[in-house]
């Protein structure tokens, strides 16, 4: 496994649509492992493959709650419920945070690391992360959805 470079806000790849994964093979499993390692290195809650320069429909999410990270291959949101106003950031936009409206609850279907289809239901932070990462696969970024006037830039401590 390896830490990959995270593509930053001006990178064109972040605006491109990702392609479905045809088969969950060793290459995809390696990508997932690298993405989890990269997400953890930068303390991210989620990471989508385009953020590491790969236009494949692959997402990893970790709520740091003692459970294994979620792996969503070819995720598809099938249901949303309610809405929540959340503070959001993105590893591709370091030190930038803003308020966004996201669904309060989400149901998605995806393939797991073994290529087996499953459903995932999320509330709160998990719902927010699923929608944020699936947006990445469509070339949609959180800055496209921010509530005007809420963007903050937090300077890193020296």
Active-site pick, 30, 133, 152, 157: 133
Q: CA-CA distance, 96 to 93, in Å (whole number)?
A: 6
Residue 157 known to be catalytic:
no
CA distances from 33 to 2, 27, 37, 84, 148 (A): 8, 10, 6, 31, 36
Task: Quote the DSSP letter at residue 4.
Answer: P
Q: CA-CA distance, 117 to 109, in Å (whole number)?
A: 7
Q: CA-CA distance, 98 to 152, in Å (whole number)?
A: 6
Among all residues, which ones are annotated catalytic? 133
């Amino acid at each position: 496994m390896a830490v990959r470079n995270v593509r930053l806000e001006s990178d064109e790849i972040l605006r491109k649509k990702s392609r479905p994964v045809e088969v969950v093979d060793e290459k995809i499993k390696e990508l997932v492992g690298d993405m989890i390692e990269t997400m953890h290195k930068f303390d991210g809650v989620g990471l989508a493959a385009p953020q590491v320069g790969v236009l494949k429909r692959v997402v990893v999410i970790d709520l740091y709650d003692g459970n294994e990270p979620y792996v969503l291959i070819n995720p598809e949101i099938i249901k949303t419920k309610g809405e929540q106003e959340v503070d959001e950031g993105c590893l591709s936009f370091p030190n930038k945070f803003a308020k966004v409206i996201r669904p309060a609850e989400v149901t998605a279907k995806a393939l797991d690391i073994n290529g087996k289809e499953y459903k995932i239901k999320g509330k709160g932070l998990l719902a927010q992360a699923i929608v944020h990462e699936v947006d990445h696969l469509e070339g949609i970024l959180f800055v496209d959805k921010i509530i005007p006037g809420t963007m903050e830039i937090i300077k890193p401590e020296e």
